[in-house]
A and B are shown apart, each in its own frame.
Chain A
Amino acid sequence: MLWLFRFFTASIGRKFLMALTGLGFILFLGTHLAGNLLLYRGGNAFNAYAARLHAFGGLLMVFEFGLLVFALIHVLFGLWLFYENYRARPIGYRVRKSGPGQTWGSATMPYTGLLILAFVVYHLIRFHFADKTSVTIYEIVKNAFQSPLEIAIYMVAMAAVALHISHGFWSAFQTLGANHPKYMPLIRGLGLIFSVVVGIGFGFIPIYMTLV
C-alpha cells in the first residue's frame, strides 16, 4: 500500500484530493442553496423542508460526517500546500506585477479559504447547533438577520465563497485532467456562472429577511 501513500502525498495526489473535496462542496452548496431558496416562500415552507431533511435521520448523519471528513481533508491539505508554496520562494521580488494569467480568485485562494473556514465554524454554531427546542429554524434565521453586523458578516463571507469558486470550479477540472479545447471554455463559463449564482443566491437572503 506504499504506492497509495505515495500517491496521496505527491503534489499532484494532494491536488487531486483538493479538487475532489472541492467538487464535493460545490455539489453541497448547490443543494444547500436550493433548500435555502425556500426562505422566499415563507416560514412554513422552510420549516417543513427542515423537518423533512431531519427525518432522514441516520442518512443525514452519514452525509454530515462525510462533509466533516471532506472539510478536514480540504483544509489540512490546503494548508500543507500553502505552506510549501510559501517556502518555495524565500526571497520575493522587489517588483511584483502579475501577468495576464492571475485572477482575483486564483491570487486569493488560501485567504478566501481561511475566511470561509472561519465563517463555517461561526455559521454552524449560529444555525446548525442552535437550540431549537423553543424556536423554529425560520425564526432563528429571521432573528439573526435583524442585526446589521450579522448581515455584513454573512455577505462578506458569501463574496469570499463566490471568489473562491470562481477559481476553484474550473481549477478542480483542470487538476483532474479534464482540459480539452472543446469544453474548457464551457467549464470556465459554468464556474463563473455558478460562483455568481451562489454569491447572489445566498447573499440576498439576509436582505430579504429584513424586508419580511
Chain B
Amino acid sequence: MKKSIHVTLKVWRQASGGDKGRFETYPLKDISTDMSFLEMLDVLNEALTHSGKEPIAFDHDCREGICGMCGAVVNGRPHGPEKGTTLCQLHMRHFSDGDVLVIEPWRSRAFPVIKDLVVDRGALDQIIIAGGYISVNTGSAPEANSIPVPQGAADKAMDAAACIGCGACVAACPNGSAMLFAAAKVSHLALLPQGRPEAARRAIRMVEKMDGLGFGNCSNITECEAECPKEISIAHIARLNREFFRAQLASDEK
C-alpha cells in the first residue's frame, strides 16, 4: 500500500468579503495518506508561511467531527466524497496519487465569505435565536425521572440533536435551503415534553427567520440528507412541516 501521494489543490482564495476572489493552484508532494484533510492543508499553510505568503484561512476547532466548525466543498461535495464525515475526519487515504482537488467555500447568499474558505454562518445562529431553545426557570436541577420520555422519542430527538450546525446542508442544497438545519432543531425539541410548551411559537418564529435570511426553499431534492456529516434524515423536515402547519392552523400563536 502506498504511504504517500502527490495531489494538486485548486483552492478558492479571497482576501476579504469585498475581494473578488480567484482559484490558486498548489502542487503538494509526499502527502501521507494517514493525514486528515485539514492536516494536509496545515502542511500547505506551513510551506506558504515559510515562503512569506498568506496561508489559506479555513475554519476548524475540535478536529473530531463534533464541533461543526470545519467544512469546505471538495470536488463539488460538501465535506468531501465520504459519507457521514466532516472535513476534519476525512483522510487522505480516500484520494489517489495525482488527484486534482478543487476546494471551495460553502456557497450561499446567507453565508458571506469572510476570507478564503471561511464563511460567516451567523445566519444559522439567527435561526436558533428565533426559537431554537426551551425556557427553564433557574433553581435546583429537577428530578430527572419526573418527566417520562418514551425511548423511541428520545432516540429520534437524539438523531436530530446530532446536528452540529456546520452548514453542509445549505452548501449541498441546489436551492441553498437551510430546511434540514431548521428541521433538526425544531424536531429535536418538538419530540420532547420539555419542548412542547413553546413548540408552536418555535416553529413559526424559526421558519419566519429562516425565510428572511436569504436561504432558498426546500424542494425535497435530499442532497442535504446525503451530505450531512451526521446523516440527519429528511423525515425531520416532514416533522417541521407538520409542526408548522399545526402551529399556523391549529394554535393560538400568530
Residues of A within 8 A of B (CB): 2-3, 6-7, 10-16, 81, 84-85, 87-102, 106-107, 109, 167, 170-171, 174-181, 184
Contact = CB atoms under 8 A, between A and B. Distances in A.
Nearest to B245: A177
Given A2-B254, A96-B76, A179-B235, A109 B219 contact: yes
> Which of the four size classes fits the interface of chain B?
35 or more
Given A11-B210, A89-B107, A179-B235, A101 B241 contact: no
A93 B117 CA distance: 13
Contact of B217 (A84, A94, A99): A84
B172 A88 contact: no
Interface string B55-81: 000000000000000000101110000
The 9 A-B pairs of least Cβ separation, nearest first, read: A97-B76, A88-B176, A88-B216, A179-B238, A101-B226, A177-B242, A101-B222, A85-B175, A85-B216
Contact of B23 (A3, A94, A98): A94
A89 B173 CA distance: 10
B8 interface: no
Contacts of A89: 107-109, 176, 216
Interface in B161-212: 172, 174-177, 179, 207-208, 210-211
A95 B226 contact: no
A93 B176 contact: no
Given A87-B109, A89-B109, A15 B226 contact: no
Contacts of B214: 87-88
Contacts of A174: 220, 234, 237-238, 241
B130 interface: no
Contacts of A13: 244, 248
Interface string B223-251: 11111000000110111111011001100
A60 B124 CA distance: 49
B216 A3 contact: no
B104 interface: yes
Contact of B211 (A10, A16, A96, A109): A10
Contacts of B226: 99-101
Given A95-B76, A177-B245, A102 B222 contact: yes
14 contacts: A3-B254, A15-B218, A16-B245, A84-B216, A85-B174, A85-B176, A88-B175, A88-B214, A95-B76, A96-B76, A101-B225, A178-B238, A179-B237, A179-B239
Interface of B: 10, 12, 23, 73, 75-77, 102, 104, 107-110, 172, 174-177, 179, 207-208, 210-211, 214-227, 234-235, 237-242, 244-245, 248-249, 254
Contacts of A12: 207, 240-241, 244-245
A75 B92 CA distance: 47
Contact of B76 (A16, A90, A93): A93
B206 to A, nearest CB: 11
Contact of B241 (A88, A99, A176): A176
A176 B235 CA distance: 12
Contacts of B175: 85, 88
B102 to A, nearest CB: 5
A94 B102 contact: yes
A176 to B, nearest CB: 7
A85 B216 CA distance: 4
B219 A81 contact: yes
B86 to A, nearest CB: 15
B239 A177 contact: yes
Contacts of B211: 10-11
Select the residue from A171, A174, A175 with max chain B CB neighbours within 10 A: A174
B218 A11 contact: yes
Given A12-B207, A14-B217, 7 more contacts: A11-B218, A85-B174, A89-B109, A97-B75, A99-B172, A101-B222, A179-B234
A184 B222 CA distance: 14
A181 B219 CA distance: 20
A12 B75 CA distance: 31
A10 B244 contact: yes
A16 B176 CA distance: 19
Contacts of B240: 12
